Amino acid sequence: LGKIPTAKALLPGGSTKVNLVIPAPADPTDYYVEVDKASEGNGDIPECHEDNNSSKVTAAQCPQPG
């Protein structure tokens, strides 16, 4: 759906928040997020914990008006 760079370099133990605006789904939808994604193995950025670079939200939906 998109690619967002961080605004600054992240130091060890650091984190940041980014926002990606997408159209609201008509039906409940699952979303998956991956950061520092490489085609195979470790990501492009060397880091201590390569296993914490993904997350998901299941059945996301917007409340219906009324």
Element (H, E) at 1: none
Domain boundaries, the chain: 29-60
pTM here is 0.60
- Alpha-carbon gap, residue 25 to 29, rounded angstroms: 7
Contacts of 6 (CB under 8 A, 6+ apart): 16, 18
Each residue's pLDDT, cut to its tens digit, for the chain (66 residues) gives 788 888 888 888 888 888 888 888 888 999 888 887 766 666 677 777 777 788 898 988 887 777
DSSP string of 10-64? Answer: PPTT---------PPPSS-EEEEEESS--SSSS-SS--S-TT-SEEEEEEE-PPP
